Structure 1
Amino acid sequence: MDLVCPSFVAHSAPALCRQIDVYCERTSFALDGEPLNALTNVAMLAVAVMAAVLQIRRPNRDARGLIWGAIVAVAIGGLGATLFHTTAAAWTVWIDMAPFLVFMLIILWLTLTRHFAWTAWPAGLGLIGFLAVTMGAGPLLPRALLPPGAYYLTPLIILVVVALLLRRRGVAAATSFVIAAAVFLGAFLARELDAPLCATFPAGTHFIWHLLAAVLAWVLIRSAILETPPRTDAFGRKLRSTGDMPG
């Protein structure tokens, strides 16, 4: 099977078989053209395993469906990123990015409904707004109109705001979100410095983004498992546990 251009892509959308060179480390379109960028995705797979073990040993039963969804998203994202950084094929970009977008939506939902006690409708609208802004800062607007790294600015800004609000409220999860915001900022800088520092560091800095993104995922999933409070109604009473998004 041709990983760069499998038959289902070649027959349906052959243009997506083109290979793209966007990171400093890539020296050729061979499968080992980005060794560090490919290998460091193992960190994300390790996070998925660690999170699964933690959820099994210290289960959060109230949010179990969402937590397992986040764990699966991280695992698939790690595999997708590995596929992208080995094949460099355009069709693998969404397999790389979509699972992490799902992960962000799950974490945001848990944050809005559990830490801020939003009901389903406002939280759902919040997710739609987040998705619209994030996608608008991605493929829906011309790159020339956007600042560098615009796709990642929305979740970074939201994470910083959430961390500050939780800290102000004295919520137990505040420390985790502050750490996550700091790690995300470091990861964002590593990602954006890959091209500018390419002449100085031929291996680039994108692999550091992978490692810090894995740390970020671990901090957020760990917090989701250990620090996510149960759902409550408008009077602060605990609702029946379902483990899934409320209807």
Structure 2
Amino acid sequence: MIDHYCERIDAGILAEPINAFTNISFLIAFFCLLPLSKARFQYLAAGERIILIALLGLLLAIGFGSTAFHTLANRWSLMADVIPITLFQLVFLGGYLRYVARVSLVFVAIALIGFLLAGAMLGRLSLGINGSESYLAPLLFITAMGIYHKVTAQNGSWMLLLTTGVFVCSLGFRTIDNAICSVWPIGTHFLWHLINGVVLFLCTRVFLMCAGEKDYSFEAKLA
């Protein structure tokens, strides 16, 4: 049994009902994105469509993988939880840089390698933040992207900075989970799930708003 959270006190598959159930946030994000995805799909190039489909598919995979981990709490379910999250980060970063920032494939490759190296190095730190060290690299990168997004006045210029703030909030709840077990036995990890559904929704929506050809009726709705 892998036990990282307040709510789990035994090896049973129903030991984390709240942590498991709140993964519904990722499914809600998926279904909320579907109408906009369908509306924008015709304006996307082939590569952009691949990125969008990957992001939507990974949203579902994150929801199901995290649910598996918070019910089974073993090594294979841990991988089912961690791998889709990592892939979503890489796909979004690569897709944003290539199709929103419009940088070269070489730059995209360098950025992805830098992201992985930063994650590996920061993840090895022992800062006493309940394993949240591995999420410091995504926080740094999305902050930098949010600043770029605002400075270059992209569609929804504030949205990635908002996403950064929301992610800081969710990371805070993940970090304090074990520290408050004695006063709040169910912990706060479930809030990490709920708020991260919003984070991934916003990331995907930013991509949809900015990638592809101009849809002037869509642009007018944003004005």
TM-score scaled by structure 1? 0.79
User: Is 1:154 aligned to 2:134, yes or no?
Assistant: no
The Cα of 1:27 is off from its aligned counterpart by 2.1
What amino acid is aligned across from residue 151 of structure 1 in structure 2?
S
User: Is 1:213 aligned to 2:200, yes or no?
Assistant: no
2:150 is matched with which residue?
167
**Secondary structure, in 3 states, of the residue corresponding to 1:196?**
helix
1:94 and 1:133 map into 2 onto residues whose CA distance is: 20
1:85 and 1:178 map into 2 onto residues whose CA distance is: 30
2:51 is matched with which residue?
66
Kept in 2: contact 1:52–1:68 (CA 8 A): no
User: Is 1:29 aligned to 2:17, yes or no?
Assistant: no
1:191 is matched with which residue?
174
Which of 69, 76, 79 is the aligned partner of 1:91? 76
Kept in 1: contact 2:159–2:206 (CA 8 A): yes
2:208 and 2:150 map into 1 onto residues whose CA distance is: 19
- Aligned-CA RMSD value: 1.5
The Cα of 1:200 is off from its aligned counterpart by 1.5
Determine what percentage of the aligned residue pairs are the same residue: 27
Q: Which string of whole-angstrom CA distances, capped at 9 and with x for unpartnered residues, describes residues 34-88 of structure 1?
A: 1110000011122122223321233252211101001101101110100000011
2:182 and 2:72 map into 1 onto residues whose CA distance is: 24
The Cα of 1:229 is off from its aligned counterpart by 5.0
The Cα of 1:133 is off from its aligned counterpart by 1.9
User: Is 1:43 aligned to 2:25, yes or no?
Assistant: yes
Q: Which string of whole-angstrom CA distances, capped at 9 and with x for unpartnered residues, describes residues 137-188 of structure 1?
A: 33xx4xxx43231100000111112112221222224211011101100010
The Cα of 1:28 is off from its aligned counterpart by 1.5
**Secondary structure, in 3 states, of the residue corresponding to 1:58?**
helix
1:12 is matched with which residue?
none
What amino acid is aligned across from residue 183 of structure 1 in structure 2?
V
1:10 is matched with which residue?
none
The Cα of 1:117 is off from its aligned counterpart by 2.2
- How many pairs align? 207
1:51 and 1:81 map into 2 onto residues whose CA distance is: 20
TM-score scaled by structure 2? 0.87
Unaligned runs of 5+ in 2: 214-223
Which structure's residues are more often helix, by fraction?
Answer: 2
Structure 1's 56 and 171: CA in aligned 2 closer, same or farther, altered over 3 A?
Answer: closer
Kept in 2: contact 1:45–1:78 (CA 8 A): yes
2:96 and 2:209 map into 1 onto residues whose CA distance is: 13
